[in-house]
A and B are shown apart, each in its own frame.
Chain A
Amino acid sequence: MLTYILRRILFMVPVTLAISLVAFIIIQLPPGDFITALTAQMAENNETLDPETLAALRDRYGFDQPMIVQYWKWITGIVFRGDFGQSFEWSRPVADLIWDRLGLTLIVSFATLVFVWVLAFPIGIYSAVRQYSWGDYIATFFGFIGLAVPNFLLALVLMYLSSRYLGASVGGLFSAEYVNADWSWGRVVDLLNHLWVPVIVLGTGGTAALIRIMRANLLDELKKPYVELARARGLSETRLLLKYPVRVALNPFISTLGWILPTLVSGAVVTAIVLSLPTSGPLLLNALFAQDMYLAGGFILLLSILTLIGTLVSDLLLAWLDPRIRYE
């Protein structure tokens, strides 16, 4: 097993490099560069920058160099100096920008994850065991409403209702007086007061999906002969359920569990934008639109490494969960 893990980790190096190169190229696929995007953003509001200023910017950021030179500079900077470069838009080091947002992003993501799991697993199991019961239909019905209602819409509705009836806007994660404050009890309470909206918005879709998946997997398992056998041997229903079918039913879920890792860091982009959350999702999206290539590139590199680690973790978990699975 250890050699397997070592081999996988070794494999990550070339894959990461390949991803970094392709990502770097793809980031620059859209026509123009950061200066074009900046010009476009200003022109959209009928604002302009002097052509001399634009020329100076282009010169300063080295956009006129060939792409492979730019890539070499970027990747060697990361590998040898741990320097992810500077964001054009924010004039700040990329690492600082990402780091700034990481904490709150993780808080939102974890809160959502807990919300989803706590809600979805019991309901999913119930739905499967009591298939075609009242409760199952209700869970299915609301589940699909949760899925078919786009997150941005739910976010808008919650924001509007909260402003209409609670008299407070729910954008962001803090009230004005706590945005820049140091951590304190008051700030934690304020965060919790704001956190419920993104958690509900982000969680509904995920909960609904997970309920369906859990229910389906369990249904597939409950029909298998070994369940009958166990039942015949007199195992209590709960014990029987949790010991085998649920465990096996977790398999498909575990297969992609590791990919939660990158999403924890990137967060949900669209919802975060609508709700103006100070998380990393909007930062990444804006970087892509603004063609802020070092910021976008650094981000994608980080996410892809997390994806690789996530896949490995998933594979290991699969084997741990189900002894039938062997990697040679």
Chain B
Amino acid sequence: MTHHPRSSWTSVPLRVAACGVALAFAMGASAWAQPYSEAPMLAEQVAAGTLPPVDERLPDDPLVEVPLESVGTYGGTWRQALRGGSDNLIERTVGYTRLARWNREWTDVIPDVAESFTVNDDATEFTFQLREGHRWSDGEPFTSADILFWYNDVLMNEALTPEVPSWLQSGGEPVMVEANGDHEVTFRFAEPNALFLSNMATVRGAAILAASPRHYLEQFHADYNDQADAMAQEAGSADWVQHFTTRVEYPHSRWRDADRPSLDAWVLTEPYDGSGQVVAERNPYYHKVDPEGQQLPYIDYVTFDVMESRQSIVLMAINGELDFQNRHIETADARPLIVQNQEQGNYDLWIAQPAWSNAMMINLNQTHKDPVLREIFSDRDFRVGLSHAINRDELNQIIYAGVAPPYQAAPRPGTELYDEEMATQYIEHDPALANEYLDQVVPERDQDGFRLRPDGERLSFAVNVLNSRQFQIDALELVRGYWADVGIEMFVRPLERSLSISLRQANDHDANVWIGGGGYDRLGLLDPKWYFPFEWQSSYAGAWGIWAQNPNDPNAEEPDETVLRALNLYRQVQATPDLEGQLDLMRQILEITEEQFYVIGTNMEPDRVGIVNADLRNVPDAMPNTYFYMTPGPAAAEQFYYVN
């Protein structure tokens, strides 16, 4: 089954360095002695006089990227496939460039475009040093004026940004950005914004650099060009605002424009506009070099085939037509094919570690519009009873082929926030105990053995599930049986995704299931919606979640004391500069979560697999797999290279 020693699954590091020991470099970036070198395709252009020499293109102090395993050689194409018109794969791969980004291990935020950054003690001031001589992909200089353009003319422009995103606000005030000279910018907040850098490393951080190429964007901006509206209408847009924003908007529409200069490792030559394959080629002005002074990236081209069905992407993978990818091919039903066809497709596997803790959380809406159901769902004993009624071992065997142990919605083992008790409470399958708990809430039964509500009607509710998630529908169908055994009537209701979301946003659901639960520390900090009602997606208490986000929403409802306490603790997390302090506060929140037992977890979300061309090097054996990590962005694809 495996044809390459690196893909052995017996040892934990999957891709044990086959190409020698990773080189260690302790070379200061500023004390650069040897000359920089460049890819042959760029050297040709330099020789032809169409491109300045590499020394002039690189910043004065390029970032030295230490390769994962070994220094590489130039060439090749990284082939990927995306699906439909709103896929954020380009954003995750080509587009993962920030002032500061995640490190590979997802433990810290490190400089990227910025040469360095400093944070003051109370996390209100963030100062970024830009690189001297740094240029956009079209050769224009990149300076603090570009960042100011984003700040003054995009973020602070009410037409373009009606509302400042919350990560760029603190204490109800938007951020202040100022430049100190050409190569330094400071972000100043009214109150501490401790998660600012973390947020910048997620998808949100793309906003800044996407809307910074002033020399290009000015022509579309009404403040700089009287004809901007006319230009927009000629291009088919309603007005200049629409024309402008679609050019800079992440994660999708900014890739429709192949003319926009960027600081990414590759720049688009064929846009993502529905007309064919998306192509990107190396950015001749990219700001990174390897320890031997070779300008990165190693790989010449990146291509994205735009496919319609997941099935055809899986087929491409097993045919060896993709080089490095996990998106769209990691679903459980594709796994046997992906694993069995390594030889045919000449690829190895890597582990995409799910950042979510739970493969299926059951969220009973504890802010249900029907007061009777609300009362029952809000009763902790009821949820504990239902939890004990579920046979999670059987679910594991049938649905997950035995690789998803029973688990509640709690941080994953091995994390700082992991708490065994929280992860395993009420997890045993024990119908007798379940009946005991349920008898305390809804003791009466009808002649069919189903329990009755206090008002005498049969207790019956529907659990919404996305119709695209077959394995959850299957699992729920089993849960329906387990619950029927203890006298609870439940309907499985598969829904199209837009409908499912509309119902949640309107707090019009009895219950639903979802993958989730922040499994990793960083994720728990950034996205605590499964630990306490934090936004509308916290569908176990929809109305409270909506309130936490926007108290004026018609479906919002002020939460109880406990939730307010958790919300308050989370505000403290946002204001606590050091990670330890943040985690301490997070633990207090998790205590509340454990005590309240808002959601019923079932099984731990199992590891998934991605594929990597057997000739591709410097690819990690495993990496976290979530939108908040921007998988595989932080793995630094600019240092991937082909050996053959």
Contact = CB atoms under 8 A, between A and B. Distances in A.
B152 interface: no
Contact of B315 (A31, A55, A56, A171): A171
A97 B626 CA distance: 32
Interface string A62-90: 00000000000000000000010010011
Given A163-B315, A282-B308, A50 B236 contact: no
A172 interface: yes
B307 A40 contact: no
B549 A46 contact: no
B256 A92 contact: yes
Given A38-B86, A169-B321, A180-B276, A52 B163 contact: yes
A42 to B, nearest CB: 8
B162 A90 contact: no
B468 interface: yes
Interface string B468-511: 10000000000000000000000000001111111101000000
B9 interface: no
Interface in A267-286: 272-278, 282-283, 286
B245 A60 contact: yes
A45 to B, nearest CB: 7
B442 interface: no
Contact of A50 (B84, B165, B256, B309): B165
A48 B538 CA distance: 13
A262 interface: no
Interface string A27-53: 000111000111111111111101111
A284 to B, nearest CB: 12
B208 to A, nearest CB: 14
Interface in A230-281: 272-278
A167 interface: yes
Contact of B236 (A96, A274, A278): A96
Nearest to B233: A83
Contacts of B396: none
A31 B499 contact: yes
A156 B315 CA distance: 10
A44 to B, nearest CB: 5
A319 B313 CA distance: 49
Given A47-B88, A90-B256, A172 B305 contact: yes
Nearest to A160: B315
Interface string A100-116: 11000000000000000
A276 B165 CA distance: 37
A56 B203 CA distance: 17
Nearest to A56: B162
Query: What 7 pairs across the A-B complex have the smallest Cβ distances?
Result: A93-B236, A171-B312, A91-B246, A31-B502, A40-B501, A179-B277, A40-B497
Contacts of B537: 43, 48
Contact of B627 (A45, A100, A176, A286): A45
A149 interface: no
Given A179-B305, A180-B277, A46 B236 contact: no
27 contacts: A32-B499, A36-B502, A41-B497, A42-B86, A43-B497, A44-B466, A48-B537, A48-B627, A50-B165, A50-B204, A52-B161, A52-B165, A52-B166, A56-B162, A59-B162, A60-B241, A89-B85, A91-B246, A91-B253, A92-B256, A95-B236, A171-B316, A176-B277, A179-B276, A274-B309, A274-B311, A275-B312
A63 to B, nearest CB: 13
Contact of B498 (A40, A56, A92, A101): A40
Nearest to A275: B312
B515 interface: yes
Contacts of B466: 44
Contacts of A171: 305, 307, 309, 312, 315-316
Given A40-B497, A44-B468, A92-B256, A169 B86 contact: no
Interface in B584-617: none
Contacts of A51: 166, 535, 549-550
Interface size class of chain B, counting residues whose CB lies under 8 Å from the partner chain: 35 or more
B595 to A, nearest CB: 25
Given A31-B502, A172-B305, A52 B86 contact: no
Interface stretch (B17-25, B267-275, B454-462): B267-275
B242 interface: yes
Interface of B: 79, 84-86, 88, 161-167, 203-204, 235-238, 241-242, 245-246, 252-253, 256, 270, 273-277, 279, 303, 305-309, 311-312, 315-316, 318-319, 321, 344, 356, 466, 468, 496-503, 505, 515-516, 527, 535, 537, 549-550, 626-627
Nearest to A89: B85
A123 interface: no
A151 interface: no
Contacts of A179: 276-277, 305
Given A91-B253, A93-B236, A56 B163 contact: yes
B345 to A, nearest CB: 10
Contacts of A89: 85-86, 252
A89 B203 CA distance: 19
A60 B242 contact: yes
Given A86-B242, A275-B309, A286-B84, 9 more contacts: A31-B499, A42-B88, A51-B549, A52-B163, A52-B164, A59-B162, A167-B319, A172-B307, A176-B305
Contacts of A283: 274
B275 A100 contact: yes
A321 interface: no
B630 to A, nearest CB: 10
A31 B505 CA distance: 11
A104 B162 CA distance: 41
A290 interface: yes
Task: Point out which of A39, A55, A163, A176 has the most chain B C-beta atoms below 10 A from its C-beta.
Answer: A163
A293 interface: no
